[in-house]
């Protein structure tokens, strides 16, 4: 019996009778599992699943909709299985309301107790009391050693201008941290946040990520609220970091995304 199946059998007293591989992102392997007693669960196997479990528990405590953590040990995380459907307007509205509840939970500073990662790309979360410094050093410049010198020079120039572009001291909201549309799981009239990379920061980081590949429908913003002021600029600043992550993870195909955000910011 493979280690995941053996772990499930030990934890739940019922061996898997079927496992279907799901897309699991860059950190974990993920399966939908049918146990011998008829229960369906989701199993994740990866090096940082205990940290993910703590993030999901923090999000649940904030009142955000997340799958329940059923078990977590070493490299195995087991979550409740949720029946996924195509998103409806009601489900998008529910996502907006759930995200607003998440962001209403705040901390005294920015960051998270432990670091995280997207694949080989480290996510340094050392706490800071200065949001501009956090976004510059913990995000835009954190991977400078892995980037071309010319790009690093442009990022350093942009970092010096950040006080003009993003708020100095936004509420340190509890963030999902990787909220592209694929990390929202929609069920019949509801929505759940999955695969988090939590930390505390400007709530608009999650909004910018949600708009990286698509624009949420009006129902989402009707529940969450619309960004105010120069949102286009702040969105470009906050989208630049995931663009850099994609460039490092997946290669030159994401150069255009990075260049686009830099051009929008005059960098």
244 neighbors 136 (Cβ within 8 angstroms): no
Active-site residue set:
178
Rounded Cα gap, residues 104 and 106, in angstroms:
6
In angstroms, the CA 5 to CA 70 distance is 15
């Amino acid at each position: 019996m493979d280690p995941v199946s053996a772990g499930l059998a030990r934890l739940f007293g019922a061996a898997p009778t079927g496992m279907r591989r799901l897309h699991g992102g860059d950190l974990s392997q993920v399966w939908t599992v049918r146990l011998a007693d008829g229960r369906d669960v989701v199993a994740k196997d990866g090096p940082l699943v205990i940290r993910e479990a703590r993030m999901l528990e923090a999000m649940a405590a904030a009142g955000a909709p997340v799958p329940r953590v059923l078990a977590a040990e070493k490299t195995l995380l087991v979550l409740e299985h949720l029946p996924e459907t195509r998103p409806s307007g009601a489900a998008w509205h529910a996502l907006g309301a759930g995200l607003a509840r998440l962001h209403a939970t705040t901390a005294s500073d920015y960051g998270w107790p432990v670091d995280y990662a997207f694949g080989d790309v480290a996510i340094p979360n050392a706490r800071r009391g200065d949001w501009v410094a956090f976004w510059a050093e913990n995000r835009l410049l954190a991977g400078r050693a892995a980037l071309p010198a010319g790009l690093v020079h442009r990022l350093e120039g942009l970092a010096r201008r950040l006080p003009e572009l993003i708020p100095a001291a936004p509420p340190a909201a509890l963030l999902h941290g990787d909220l592209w549309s694929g990390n929202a799981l929609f069920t019949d009239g509801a929505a759940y946040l999955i695969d988090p990379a939590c930390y505390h920061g400007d709530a608009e980081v999650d909004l910018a990520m949600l708009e990286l590949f698509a624009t949420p429908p009006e129902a989402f913003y009707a529940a969450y609220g619309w960004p105010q002021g120069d949102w286009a600029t702040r969105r470009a600043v906050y989208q630049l970091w995931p663009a850099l992550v994609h460039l490092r993870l997946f290669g030159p195909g994401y150069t255009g995304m990075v260049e686009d955000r830099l051009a929008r910011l005059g960098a």
